[in-house]
Amino acid sequence: MTAALPAAPDARAACRHCGSPVPADASDGPEFCCSGCEAAYGLVQGLGLVQYYQRRCIDPAVRPLRPDDEVAVDYSAHVTAEPDGTAVLHLMVEGIHCAACVWLIESLLSRQPGVIGARVNMTTRRLVLRWDPAQADANAVVAPVASVGYRLVPYDPARLGKETERTERDLLRGMAVAGFAAANVMLLSVSVWAGHAGGMGPATRGLMHWVSALIALPAIAYAIRPFFRSALNALRAGRTNMDVPITVGVLLATGMSLAETVTGGEHAYFDSAVSLLFFLLIGRYLDSRARGRARSAAEHLLSLSATAVTVLDADGGRRLLPPSQVAEGMTVLVAAGERVGVDGRVVEGVSDLDASLLTGETVPAVVRPGDRVFAGTLNLSAPLRLAVVAVGESTLLAEIVRMMEVAEQGRARYVALADRVARHYAPVVHTLALATFFGWLLIGGIGWQSALMNAVAVLIITCPCALALAVPVVQVVASGRLLRQGVLLKSATALERVAETDTVVFDKTGTLTLGRLELVRDGDWTDEDLHEAAAMAANSHHPLARALLRAAPTVAAAAGVAEVAGCGLEAGGMKLGSRQWCGVCEDESAGPELWFRRPGRDPVRFAFMDEPRPDAAQVVAALRRRGLAVALMSGDRPATVAALAGRLGIDDWRAGCTPGDKRDRLAELGRSGRRVMMVGDGLNDAPALAAAHVSVSPSTAVDVSQTAADVVFQGHRLGPVVEVLEVAKRGDRLVKQNFGLAFLYNAATVPLAVAGMVTPLIAAIAMSSSSLVVILNALRLARRSVP
């Protein structure tokens, strides 16, 4: 970003240097608030420090970006509007290396006028920014981030993958150059070391040093680029990152060695400098590859929509368009074997659809005209014609990606701790390295060359990479594993709260059960009874009438049927409806039922049951084996709730509960110190879900974005509840292990480096290894444990 020196329209509106209001009686000119600012401004211009002044002028602590400031990239074209009027911008941030970078970017943006929220995903490097467009435009909001050295570009999953590949190729080339140089310089160094015992003369030693320099200096200049570019951008912006001490350490070792070579000294450490870079590059490359294994499942999902879509024109012609150019209302053709690129509704064709990547269901679903299909699903059997319903960021796939990123880049207490440590890392490390140098030089009584090498070892070994990765990598792996099981995390801190759960409370209808009444074949009726009753039921939309009709779908609707509100159906003296209306004595223990009464014949009872989910009993048993208390609360009748509770083995149950009753009960459990997970319908149990410590909801793909729960699972199985608990508890253990490993690493290695017992080469190996250990430990979460 570049910015022009501002010329304020009101000469006395703001100081040209600090932005403060200019007093009306200012004696230092109409453009400055005091003589100090006037002198400072003159010094800045005299020295040509225009970039410094430009950055100060757009620093949000002084003043926001003005409309007359020049911006190199116009981001306004990429802004989308939310239904509530909020502006949203999705960008990719280049130059992110650790949690401190994330903290800095989010802090700068949160200080801008009108910003509602700013979240950066360290894994995908995606920035999601929300603000009030009435208070600022897109360019003004993102200007502070660009001013401190980060490059912002419109978010593109394909570009993200290419950027990662380009970075890894660059690391490999640097590694090859540094490795070649290290091997050759090491051979020369062995000759020098052996010459000390064999009486090598100064001339021969100097020749060896010069040959080493000729090999090492070009290699170091090439291989240090990834670290140097990052460090230089940070320093230009007036900040530091973890590449600053690495660059300083390598340059110090190289500069000292060159000085010794020029003056004919004995101490040259070209082998250490180039070998240090070699092992640092190995560590960074392996770190990148390991992060790739833990790469966000959301990134993989995004790639599913990046496919060409066949659009059918009104004249019968076909066009191949990217999904971003497809508009709602268009008709698209999806051939067998193709992946659906948009959300749509089937208008022609019947096929099997593999939606396992979205729902976790392994069995393909049959879709027919009128059914909804979603971007990212795979058409298996036959061609389908779809009417486009949603594209781009409005699709279910994009909604799932947004929820995944919220979950992966949460601000739990562990993340906050890592951010605070990373924030104070640079000043502490530089102070410690400086103290090591002067301590060894003044107190240790060694030469400045050896003291400098000890300081370099401190700079290299005290890297917060392991600490910064301790939480994010676990969140990414956990979110990806759950997504493969059809589980979506809608809250950033959901997993942390799930891990604390000690009580699970279930709703009944639609949660423990499928929420779909089915006719019970109990022998109380014949096929003739069913067909006559179903013919009458075909004239009603009552759920029990619909369930009765599903048992005899081929029956034609009877004529002359009248519906009596609150009672049932009547035709020619026949009645189909409630027990009281059909003249049958009251029975409080009866479940859902319809009675069918015909003149001169005994009434016939059709009983219905909302069947439990196929694995409900196993899930309840698994929860109890884990030591969790299990309860059931329902608004249904006591007899129905009692029957289901007995069938599933739940002793603690309550019936006739209103949403308010459920909320009050959960609040009561919370006050008693229980950590309650509420598993209920996210669409109508919002008060109860909000009262729980953490909430889980079964949901279809259509309403996944509407539910109020923290965790949403799809499909007909209840097993994801156990899966969420298992992943959360294992993830919590892994996060604590990662923090322990990171703190143990620093506690063990930093004192050794300060004591002069670690060379820069060993420091590089130890630093890279600590990050890899943390990542590999987190990747264990991707393996499913044996139940």
| pLDDT value, residue 229 | 84
Lowest mean pLDDT among 17-31, 165-179, 368-382, 490-504: 17-31
Average pLDDT of span 430-449:
84
| pLDDT interval class at 28 (50, 70, 90) | very low
Q: Can you tell me the distance from the alpha carbon of 761 to that of 279, in angstroms, rounded to the nearest whole number?
A: 8
pLDDT of residue 584: 82
User: pLDDT of 686-707, one tens digit each?
Assistant: 677 777 888 888 875 445 444 5
Report how far apart, in Å, the C-alpha atoms of 278 and of each of 78, 136, 270, 333, 643 are: 41, 47, 12, 52, 69
Q: Tens of pLDDT along 630-643?
A: 999 887 778 788 88
pLDDT at 503: 93
In 328-464, where does DSSP find H-type helix? 356-359, 396-408, 413-423, 425-438, 448-461
What average pLDDT does range 720-742 have in this prediction? 88
Cα–Cα distance list, 256 to 273, 584, 754 (Å) = 10, 102, 19
pLDDT in the model for residue 686: 63
C-alpha pair distances (Å), 15 with each of 26, 59, 155, 616:
11, 14, 37, 69
Q: How many helices (H) does the chain have, and how many strands (E)?
A: 26, 27
In this prediction, residues 748-754 reach a mean pLDDT of 87
**Residue bearing the bigger pLDDT, 390 or 49:** 390
Residue 743 CB contacts under 8 Å (≥ 6 apart), including other chains: 467
pLDDT for position 634: 84
Tokens 């909804």 belong to 372
Q: Range with the lowest mean pLDDT among 134-138, 312-316, 374-378, 398-402?
A: 398-402
pLDDT of the residue at 625: 92
Best CATH choice for the domain 475-514+613-729 from the list 3.40.50.300, 3.40.50.880, 3.40.50.1000, 3.30.70.1450: 3.40.50.1000
**CATH 3.30.70.100 domain residues, the chain:** 1-160
**pLDDT at position 15, please?**
59
What average pLDDT does the structure give for the chain?
76
> 253 vs 330, which has greater pLDDT?
330
Q: Report whether 485 contacts 659 (CB < 8 A).
A: no
What is the Cα–Cα distance from 358 to 96, expressed in whole angstroms? Answer: 29
Query: pTM for the complete prediction?
Result: 0.56
Q: Which segment of 50-54, 153-157, 173-177, 472-476 scores lowest on mean pLDDT?
A: 50-54
Tally Cβ neighbours within 10 Å of residue 598: 16
Which is more confident, 692 or 31? 692
Confidence of residue 562 (pLDDT cuts 50, 70, 90): confident
pLDDT in tens, 775-787: 788 888 877 654 4
Overall average pLDDT of the 214-241 stretch: 83
Residues designated as active site: 507
- Which ranges in the chain are annotated with CATH 3.40.1110.10? 516-610
What CATH code is assigned to 516-610?
A: 3.40.1110.10
What's the pLDDT at 458? 83
| Structure-model confidence comparison of residues 669 and 165, the more confident one | 669
**Measured in Å, how far apart are the chain's first and last C-alpha atoms?**
55
**C-alpha to C-alpha distance for 293 and 477, rounded to whole angstroms:** 9
pLDDT band with cut points at 50, 70 and 90 for residue 305: low
Question: In 3-state terms, what secondary structure has residue 673?
Answer: coil
Architecture of the domain delimited by 1-160:
2-Layer Sandwich (3.30)
**pLDDT tens digits, 121-147:** 765 677 888 898 888 888 888 888 877
What are the Cα distances from residue 700, in Å, to 510, 609, 679, 681, 682?
Answer: 11, 21, 15, 11, 11
pLDDT per residue over 453-465, tens digit each? 788 778 777 766 6
Residue 494 above 70 pLDDT?
yes
The pLDDT value recorded for residue 6 is 35
Lowest mean pLDDT among 44-48, 126-130, 314-318, 435-439: 44-48
Distance CA 216, CA 256 (A): 13
Mean per-residue pLDDT, 659-679: 87
Report the SS3 class of residue 241: coil
Sheet holding 503-506, edge to edge: 487-489, 711-713, 694-698, 676-679, 503-506, 629-633, 652-654
Q: Is the pLDDT of residue 559 over 50?
A: yes
**Contact between residue 78 and residue 154 where contact means Cβ atoms under 8 Å apart:** yes
Q: What is the pLDDT of residue 783?
A: 74
Query: 18 falls in which pLDDT band (50, 70, 90)?
Result: very low
Winning range, highest mean pLDDT, from 118-127, 182-191, 194-203: 182-191
pLDDT of residue 156: 60
**320 bridge partner residues:** 310
Residue 259 has pLDDT above 60, yes or no: yes
CATH 3.40.50.1000 occupies which residues in the chain? Answer: 475-514+613-729
